[in-house]
Amino acid sequence: MREYTTQMDAARKGIATPQMKIVAEKEKMQLEELMGYMAEGKVVIPANINHQCINPEGVGSMLRTKINVNLGVSRDCKDYDIELQKVMSAVNMGAEAIMDLSSHGNTEPFRKKLTSECPAMIGTVPVYDSVIHYQRDLSTLTAEDFIDVVRLHAQNGVDFVTLHCGITRKTIDQIKNHKRKMNIVSRGGSLVFAWMSMTGNENPFYEYYDEILDICEEYDVTISLGDACRPGCLADATDVCQIEELVRLGELTKRAWEHNVQVMVEGPGHVPLDQIAANMQVQKTICMGAPFYVLGPLVTDIAPGYDHITAAIGGAVAAMNGAAFLCYVTPAEHLALPNVEDVKQGIIASKIAAHAADIAKGIKGARDIDDKMADARRVLDWDAQFECAIDGGTAKAIRDSRKPEDDHSDTCSMCGKFCAVRSMNKALNGEYIDIL
Ligand code: SF4
């Protein structure tokens, strides 16, 4: 019999859980310090009691920035084996979390497979699954139906669930009156909004929040408070709809903490670069330091096909200013379901953003690998460079495809014998420098 319910409850009782010990070691942080942050809600370890094979990770702005990869089958791409291959390769590429956003067929076997085989944190958005689970149209579902799906996901071992608890009937008027350019672009948020509009009822995830907290406490499911009103274009960034919802998310964070339920807060989508730091600061204040999980932010609206780059720019600045968790964005964003190559590009871009932010934040040991890379570059040790690279395979393939004329040369074809590194090494060794 466990002496605690959630990781937060354990931290508050001064009990060091096995998950905390692993996270403290990974983060090179004293266990007591980690537990202090967890007791306050500033760090979470999403680890459902039924996800036995999890390799736990901590999420908090004082820890390494983590990345999430969204996968799952849809009506147009419904091969579970291909999706599982994508999951495993995402984990191998360094994704700490996988969100299963499946929107077709019987989703439970795949979800259970994930929580019995995948070591990464598993997240879901139960409202997506509700329609599929019951195979009934949205308007026919009851509040109880939605809550039952949250319970099912908790029983299946899901570590964190995105719940759009922050929009209420007041939001309907606000969206109608405020005249945003992009209204609501959150898929889950739009479903909740549509259900409220059709039934005339209050948001079930808001109205029955206490019941949800009981479920999350029982299975130690971390709530990721979804931001239904996240801006879907630069013009809507930091507007009244976004901030009003954020205030409610702050209140809901407090209520979760009173139940020892761990909480993350989801953040904006499209935000101009100069507003990102302020957004992070406002979130930190209103949500009392709860880990911030950002969806981008995308810093321009005009780069479909390259939104992994717009998101990486925003993600790096967001994480440097306090975001703890980055949701990856692929080149297929706004266009199509990502394929294997899109997923890879999205992960690499997010890893670069997270790593850049960790260096800027001064996370212990974050820059060690960059220093190792510099040492390898100084001595033109190419194999060592590929070892240090985020994607060594691609780096090697590019070099191999365009080697210098003299195949044994230690330089590369960019400068050949004008190689600054080679010239400096020779000059400092007192050697003759041949250029022609
Ligand atoms: S040839 Fe130029 S680019 Fe290539 S390693 Fe030397 S300095 Fe760097």
Task: Answer yes or no: is pLDDT of 10 > 90.
Answer: yes
C-beta 419 within 6 A of ligand 1:
yes
Confidence of residue 346 (pLDDT cuts 50, 70, 90): very high
421 alpha carbon – ligand 1 mean position (Å): 7
Q: Which atom of ligand 1 is nearest to the CA of 412?
A: 4
Lowest mean pLDDT among 11-20, 128-137, 247-256, 282-291: 128-137
Say how far apart CA 316 and CA 323 lie, in whole Å: 9
Given 341, 361, 381, the domain boundary residue is 361
431 alpha carbon – ligand 1 mean position (Å): 18
Say how far apart CA 292 and CA 250 lie, in whole Å: 12
Residue 77 annotated in ligand binding: no
Domain co-membership, 174 together with 298: yes
Is position 294 within any domain?
yes
Overall average pLDDT of the 328-341 stretch: 93
Task: Answer yes or no: is pLDDT of 5 > 70.
Answer: yes
Confidence of residue 403 (pLDDT cuts 50, 70, 90): confident
Overall average pLDDT of the 148-177 stretch: 94
Overall average pLDDT of the 82-96 stretch: 91
Domain co-membership, 227 together with 247: yes
Q: Which two tokens stand for residue 176?
A: 């109608």
Task: Answer yes or no: is pLDDT of 248 > 80.
Answer: yes
Domain co-membership, 64 together with 102: yes
Helix or strand or coil: residue 207? helix
Given a contact cutoff of 8 angstroms between Cβ atoms, the answer to whether 255 and 248 are in contact is: no
DSSP, res 122? E
Is position 410 within any domain?
yes
Q: Which segments of 182-234 are extended strands (E)?
A: 222-225
What confidence score (pLDDT) does residue 82 get?
Answer: 83
Is position 2 within any domain?
no
In the chain, what percentage of residues exceed pLDDT 70?
Answer: 100
Q: Which segments of 154-304 are extended strands (E)?
A: 160-163, 222-225, 263-266, 292-294
Helix or strand or coil: residue 168? coil
402 alpha carbon – ligand 1 mean position (Å): 13
Q: Which atom of ligand 1 is nearest to the CA of 416?
A: 1
What confidence score (pLDDT) does residue 387 get?
Answer: 98
Q: Which two tokens stand for residue 52?
A: 């036995």
Domain co-membership, 396 together with 420: no
Domain co-membership, 395 together with 352: no
Helix or strand or coil: residue 97? strand
Task: Answer yes or no: is pLDDT of 52 > 70.
Answer: yes
CATH number at residue 245: 3.20.20.540
Domain co-membership, 392 together with 407: no
C-beta 409 within 6 A of ligand 1:
no
419 alpha carbon – ligand 1 mean position (Å): 5
Is position 121 within any domain?
yes
CB atoms within 10 A of CB 145: 15
Q: What is the DSSP string of 238-260?
A: T-HHHHHHHHHHHHHHHHHHHTT
Is position 172 within any domain?
yes
Q: Which atom of ligand 1 is nearest to the CA of 422?
A: 6
Say how far apart CA 330 and CA 422 lie, in whole Å: 38
Domain co-membership, 306 together with 264: yes
Domain co-membership, 58 together with 192: yes
Overall average pLDDT of the 47-57 stretch: 98
Residue type present at position 395: A
Residue 216 annotated in ligand binding: no
Helix or strand or coil: residue 325? strand
Ligand 1, atom 8: nearest CA belongs to which residue? 419
Instruction: Give the Å distances, CA to CA, from 342 to 78, 83, 349.
Output: 17, 13, 11
Helix or strand or coil: residue 80? helix
Is position 314 within any domain?
yes
Lowest mean pLDDT among 60-69, 181-190, 266-275, 402-411: 402-411
Backbone angles phi, psi at 341, to 5 degrees: -70, -40
Backbone angles phi, psi at 273, to 5 degrees: -50, -40
Confidence of residue 407 (pLDDT cuts 50, 70, 90): low
What confidence score (pLDDT) does residue 2 get?
Answer: 82
Confidence of residue 74 (pLDDT cuts 50, 70, 90): confident
Given a contact cutoff of 8 angstroms between Cβ atoms, the answer to whether 278 and 286 are in contact is: no
Say how far apart CA 138 and CA 302 lie, in whole Å: 33
381 alpha carbon – ligand 1 mean position (Å): 12
Residue 308 annotated in ligand binding: no
Ligand 1, atom 6: nearest CA belongs to which residue? 419
Omega into 109 within 30° of 0, i.e. cis? no
Overall average pLDDT of the 403-426 stretch: 85
Q: Which two tokens stand for residue 424?
A: 């400096």
What confidence score (pLDDT) does residue 239 get?
Answer: 93
Lowest mean pLDDT among 16-25, 132-141, 201-210, 355-364: 132-141
Task: Answer yes or no: is pLDDT of 51 > 70.
Answer: yes
Task: Answer yes or no: is pLDDT of 251 > 70.
Answer: yes
369 alpha carbon – ligand 1 mean position (Å): 20
Q: How many domains does the chain have?
A: 3
Say how far apart CA 239 and CA 231 lie, in whole Å: 8
Is position 1 within any domain?
no
Structural domain range at position 182: 7-361
What confidence score (pLDDT) does residue 104 get?
Answer: 84
Residue 32 annotated in ligand binding: no
C-beta 411 within 6 A of ligand 1:
yes
Domain co-membership, 345 together with 390: no
Say how far apart CA 248 and CA 246 lie, in whole Å: 5
Is position 280 within any domain?
yes
Domain co-membership, 312 together with 396: no
C-beta 412 within 6 A of ligand 1:
yes
Confidence of residue 408 (pLDDT cuts 50, 70, 90): low
Over the chain, what is the mean pLDDT? 95
Given 361, 390, 423, the domain boundary residue is 361
Domain co-membership, 379 together with 285: no
Domain co-membership, 331 together with 369: no
